[in-house]
Each structure stands twice: as structure tokens, then as C-alpha cells.
Structure 1
Amino acid sequence: MENLAAKYTHIPGWGIDADPKNDPTYPLKHHTDSEHDGYNWERPAQQSQDVEVLQSIERPSLPAVFGTTVAPQGLSGQLRRFAFKYSESHYGHWLPLLLADRVNMVEGLVDDLKQGHIPNIFAEKGWKAEWKHNPLGLVQKVATTALVTWAVVAFFSRKKDKA
């Protein structure tokens, strides 16, 4: 071990933590275990579960309190159920959740149209504020969206003409 220490003494800062008195956490290393006193608390009463609550596979039980705005439903709900079969450290958890959010937005638009409500996309997307504070960015977004939409429509209509 001493050979190793001598081998690297030319590196500035090498072995700086070898002396415990020079370690910035030195006083904390001598615990009295009094910090564990705060861990003894009574668990709050369990919130009743009236709707389906998706739960991470890393948790053995539901937390005492959780959000229950809307139960998972439709295609987005199926995607969310699929995502919660995977660990939170896995892409199979997060990517389907991202997709489910986008699908849920489309499902909401379809639901609005079914109920006879035409959504005000301009207001809901915050374009008024963006026009005020970032007009060039808004014009770029709209132009890019229009260009991509035109390209997709042109691509698919061209294939129909050849057939």
C-alpha cells in the first residue's frame, strides 16, 4: 500500500483524505446515533383506494397518501399499466409513460369533440404568451409544423397517384 501512495505523490491532492483529521466529514464519522431518533414516527392513516392506483414494482405497498384524480383508462391507461410492469430504472417504464401522456392528450381532444366542445388550441398551448415574449420562436414552431404536415401529406398523396 505504501508503494502505491509513494507512486502517486507527484499528483496534486493525491491522498488528501488519508489523514482523518483533514477529512471534511471527520466530526460526522463519530455518530451518537441520535440522528435516528427522527426516523421513529407514526405512519399516517392509509388513504382509501377508490380507483385503480398504479404502483411501482419497487414499493411493497401503497404510500399512506397518493393522488387519485382519474383512474387509468383507454389506450393511455393500457400503456400506463404496461409501463408499471417494469422497474423505474428501465426504459420500459419511462418511455411508455411518455407515450401515454401524448396519447392521453389526443384522447382528451377526441373526448372534447364528442361532447361538442371545440378546444381553443391557441389558448391552451399558451401561444398568446409566446407571441408576446417569443414571437420568432412561435413563428418557427408554426412554420416547422406546417412544413412537416405538408411533407407528410405530399408523401402519402404521391403514393396514391402512382397506384
Structure 2
Amino acid sequence: MEPTTNPSQLPGWGIDNDPDNDPTYPMRQRHADDPRGYTWERPTQQVADVEILMSIERPNLPAVFGTSVPPSGLSGMIRRIAFKYGESDYRHWLPLLLADRVNVVEGVLDDLAHGQVPNIFAEKGYKIEWKYDRTGLIIKLATAAALVGGAVVLLSSKSKKKGKIRSAS
């Protein structure tokens, strides 16, 4: 069989060209009670027994969703703020990135509070990185150490300055 050069002869080509048969078009004009564009039977709705954060651009909850880690703590508060904005807004995505990093710290603190020391070296995959990209790992760890060290020096110098001002009065 010789290769096809005309894309219209490929199986399935142009299947998404019809806006009447595209469930994502026009999503902005769709409401919860407006089934236009849906060409399938909607699965049975999963019961929401935990808080579900949902995009303001979606008219209803998805049929199924994850419930194993509902939003909580500081990262949950940041996520709630993020979901007040649309998915095309950086005020939605940047806080979600921050919330992920805060959640990592919350997880480590939770482990320590329960008497468990996390094995960060193993969890981050540094053993494999040491095996296959030793130089990259050394650079990454040195950069992290320099950033942490710089933050410690900066914070300690600020606290010393505050101490001098307090003792002078």
C-alpha cells in the first residue's frame, strides 16, 4: 500500500469539522439545562460528598471526579481563589501552581507531625537522576542549596536589623 498524500483520504479526517457535532463548541453559550452539542448519553452523576472545585466556564459538574484529596489548608484556600477566575486567566493557573507547591510543604509537615520522616531523595527520583544525569542533579541540588542559603541569610540579616532597632528604643 502506497502512502496517502491527500489528508481528506485518511480515515477519520475532518471528523471534528462539524460544529453541530462538536461537544466543545460553543461551550461559552451553553447552560446547564441546554443539551445542544451533546451526542451521547450522559453517565450517571457521581455524588459529590466532598468539596469539588469547578471551573466557572463549566455549566455543571463532570459525571465523575476525584474525591481522594479534597482542598484543605492553605493550599485549599489558594485553590478556591484560583477557581474564581476563568481558565484563560493567569489568575487561575498561577495560584494553582503555587497551591501545588504549598501542598508539598503541607504534606512534608503532615508527615513530620505524624512521626514519619519523608524520604525526599527517593520520592523525587534522585537515585535514577544520579544514575543517568549526575551533572544535572548536582546543578539542581546546588541551585536549591544556594537559594535556601540565600533566603536564610536574608531573613537572618533582617531579623538582626529589627533587633537593633528594638534595643535602641
Common topology (TM > 0.5) = yes
Show the counterpart of 2:83. 84
2-side partners of 1:69 and 1:161: how far apart? 44
User: Sequence identity of aligned pairs in percent?
Assistant: 62
Give the Cα separation in 2 of the matches to 1:143 and 1:52.
Answer: 40
Q: 1:154 to 1:70 in 2, by over 3 A?
A: closer
> How far did residue 153 of structure 1 move?
2.5
What is residue 70 of structure 1 aligned with on the other side? 69
Q: CA separation in 2, counterparts of 1:54 and 1:161?
A: 43
**Distance in 2 of aligned mates of 1:41 and 1:161:** 66
Query: Deviations for 1:83-107, whole angstroms, at most 9, x for unmatched residues?
Result: 1110001111101101100000000
Q: What does the per-residue CA deviation read over 1:38-62, in whole Å, with 9 as the maximum and x for residues that have no partner?
A: 9532111111111111110011111
Q: What is the identity, as a one-letter code, of the residue corresponding to 1:106?
A: V
Q: Deviations over 1:88-137 (max 9, x none)?
A: 01111101101100000000000000000000111011110000000001
2:100 matched residue in structure 1: 101
For 1:97 and 1:67, locate their aligned partners in 2 and report how far apart those are by CA, in whole Å: 17
Partner of 1:133: 132
- Residue 19 of structure 1 corresponds to which residue in structure 2? none
- Give the residue type in structure 1 aligned to 2:121: F
Aligned to 2:114: 115
* Per-residue deviation, residues 19-54 of structure 1 (Å, max 9, x unmatched): xxxxx87xx99xxx8x95x95321111111111111
Corresponding letter in the other structure for 2:99: A
Give the alignment's TM-score, normalised by structure 1. 0.72
Residue equivalent to 2:31: none
Aligned twin of 1:12: none
Instruction: Choose 1 or 2 for highest CA Rg.
Output: 1
Structure 2 unaligned spans of 5+: 1-6, 22-36, 165-169
**What is the CA–CA distance in structure 2 between the aligned matches of 1:68 and 1:151, rounded to whole Å?**
39
Partner of 2:45: 46
Give the RMSD, CA atoms, in angstroms: 2.5
TM-score w.r.t. length of structure 2: 0.70
